[in-house]
Amino acid sequence: MKSKSYACGSWVEGDPRGAEVRDAVNGKLICNVSSAGLDFQKMVEHGRFIGHASLAAMTIHERANAVKNVAKHLLTKKDYFYKISSQTGATKTDSWIDIDGGLATMFSYSGIARREFANETFIVEGPPEPLSVNGTFAARHILTSKKGVSVHINAFNFPCWGMLEKIAPSLIAGVPVIVKPATVSAYLTQAVVEEIVASKLLPEGAIQLICGGVGDLLDHLNEQDVVTFTGSATTGKKLRCHPNIIDNSIPFNMEADSLNCSILGESVCVDDPEFGLFIKEITTEMTAKAGQKCTAIRRAIVPATKVNAVIEALKERLNTVVMGDPAAEGVAMGPLVGRAQRDDIRDTVTALGRHCEVIYGGNNAPMDLVGDGIEQHAFYPPTLLYCGTPLTTDAPHSIEAFGPVSTIMPYDSIDQAIAIACMGRGSLVGSVVTYDDHEASQIIMGAAAFHGRMLVLNRDCAKESTGHGSPLPTLVHGGPGRAGGGEELGGSRAIKHYMQRTAIQGSPTSLMAITREYMPGAKTSSTDRHPFRKYFEELLVGESLTTHRRTVTEADIVNFGCLSGDHFYAHFDEIAAKDSLFGQRVAHGYFIISAAAGMFVDPAPGPVLANYGLENLRFVEPVHIGDTIQVKITVKKKIKKDKRPEDKSPTGVVLWDVQVSNQHRVIVALYDILTLVERKHL
């Protein structure tokens, strides 16, 4: 296999004298990786001008669909990626986490974007902000695509997921990507990018790849660019201090390896299901990806009275772990990614051993490896250490062995457990294993400030729990302090990370024209034709209808109460209503919105196919017997939907602003309704 980079629309082979990358299982040479010959300035310009121009012209839904289609294509090549992945030392389960997990994240982000954002090239964020007494001056917040590139510098342990979870939100945001994988596993990332390019599902310049060093790449970035980094805290700090990043205030998101902890609750007994869950979780996090996970459990915090039971249970469980060639039958743990990583862990365990006791595994532990043609250069056994004084010994809270290594630490009280957890000085994730919710609450509230994510694991959620070490697309992934101080994933937050948030001020009518969303105070328009008789394309944002009037009677209240079963005193008890905050009987709020629907709906069949939602309902003022109501509906926002094979006709969603007023022109109810409206054209 030849190492190649993809730059400015062409594949460029690396220097054959570049860094040697070997198969983690048998030590055979896979390729030499080098970025020599790449013009990094041209790569940045290619993404900035060619890639960005194409992505910026696409709507968010179009970009999201492109990401979904890329994921579908990559799914057909999964077996090919699995074969390559095994060379990194990954078992089938490890590869599933990396490859399938990455593709699932792409699908997830495509869905998030199409559900949460309008089909525009920009995002309108939050409600209008009134800035004046008479409503003639207001503000909105919008997010637009940064006019640059996003540079993704990724770690070696997840060559697929690490890339895909970053490029998906960036591309949906309209920002082209330059991917720089870690050298030791770059060949797998390269294989995925080759398929992405070959699919031609993304516009030219949307993705570029650097296999090898970044050279002077960071020197050519500016204030419109973004850099994200995943890897060691030491490397991340060096990159974050790059003069050009500092001078141009270039956004730099860092997700660093951290000393994550799992706490066994003080209330847990050895015979409880939670004890077994704790042992299973520790073992899984030590052996999945051979412990090479930024979220792996490095510190197991255990009640002092249960330390011996935990140690014995972990030893028994680890004794069953079969190591060897990931392709061999029954192998649950493969090698580390390479010899250099093995040597680094040996040195780190030696350093930890000066302050802690090695109680299982270690540098000199024998390994019975399964499989043929295995070279032991990258294998390292699951290793447990014990630190009896975690409150006074800093080493296990500051030295990380990035492999199948975990340290057991005792505590005497919940306050001590919290203090030990926080000594990691910032973690990506922490977990609490307990069936006592009060205990869980105490630990979470005490330690949450030091963690980006916290899991409470017990018998109720265990079967469906994704586990301690699994970042999810919808949840924030990152953490304070040592963990880097950044955030990835987190649903729509990840997409917004690559966009510029701008506050815009002006008249409501001007803001409506810019955002393509109606807001109170903006000028409206109307025609003789009922808006429910119009197709999606014919409706204009700001188009409104003011209905006829209706006087609310006592019979309305009685009939609605009988129909709904709602006989609340304020509607039926004259004496109680008089003593209440209303002062007299009032109409049901839900009668008001039901009556309003009857006033603004055109009953005949037409382009409006369905009303499938009501949002932001507020009953502002009471409606009394004898009050007269009137309704004004206004097209607030339009969202064009993609036509699915099962759809009879193309449609769009229209969000309507609804205002119900009384005879004094005082608003009594406010809400939004959503209707599915037929489109004339695809």
Q: How far apart are CA 327 and CA 373, in angstroms?
A: 12
Q: How far apart are CA 123 and CA 524, in angstroms?
A: 22
Crossing angle (nearest 10°) for helices 273-287 and 307-318: 50
Query: Is 294 among the catalytic positions?
Result: yes
Which residues pair with residue 361 across a beta bridge?
Answer: none
Burial of 619 (0-12, 13-18, 19+ CB in 10 A): middle
CB 209 within 8 Å of CB 192: no
**Lookup: tokens for 519:** 């807001």
Could you count the other beta carbons within 10 Å of the beta carbon of residue 548? Answer: 8
DSSP classification of residue 99: I
Q: How far apart are CA 95 and CA 81, in angstroms?
A: 9
Q: How far apart are CA 554 and CA 536, in angstroms?
A: 39
Catalytic hit among 31, 160, 294, 387: 294
CB 283 within 8 Å of CB 311: no
Q: How far apart are CA 58 and CA 64, in angstroms?
A: 10
Catalytic hit among 120, 165, 255, 439: 255
DSSP string, 293-337: -TT-EEEEEEEGGGHHHHHHHHHHHHTT--EE-TTSTT--B---S
Which residues pair with residue 8 across a beta bridge?
Answer: none
**Lookup: tokens for 582:** 């209303």
| Residue indicated by tokens 């054209």 | 681
**Lookup: tokens for 379:** 């294998």
Could you count the other beta carbons within 10 Å of the beta carbon of residue 262? Answer: 25
Comparing CA positions, the residue from 658, 669, 572, 598 lying closest to residue 627 is 669
CB 86 within 8 Å of CB 327: yes
Residue 306 phi/psi, 5-degree rounding, is: -120, 10
Say which residues have a Cβ less than 8 Å from residue 318's Cβ, sequence separation at least 6.
Answer: 283, 286, 287, 360, 361, 382, 384
Could you count the other beta carbons within 10 Å of the beta carbon of residue 215? Answer: 16
CA 350 to chain centre: 37
Q: How many residues does the chain have?
A: 682
Alpha carbon distance, N-terminus to C-terminus of the chain: 45
User: Helix or strand or coil: residue 10?
Assistant: strand
CB 206 within 8 Å of CB 149: no
| Residue indicated by tokens 């008001």 | 592
Comparing CA positions, the residue from 181, 123, 169, 170 lying closest to residue 148 is 170
Query: Is 255 among the catalytic positions?
Result: yes
DSSP classification of residue 644: P
Could you count the other beta carbons within 10 Å of the beta carbon of residue 667? Answer: 14
Could you count the other beta carbons within 10 Å of the beta carbon of residue 616? Answer: 11
Comparing CA positions, the residue from 602, 517, 525, 530 lying closest to residue 124 is 517
Comparing CA positions, the residue from 183, 160, 157 lying closest to residue 295 is 157
Instruction: Name the residues annotated as catalytic.
Output: 255, 294
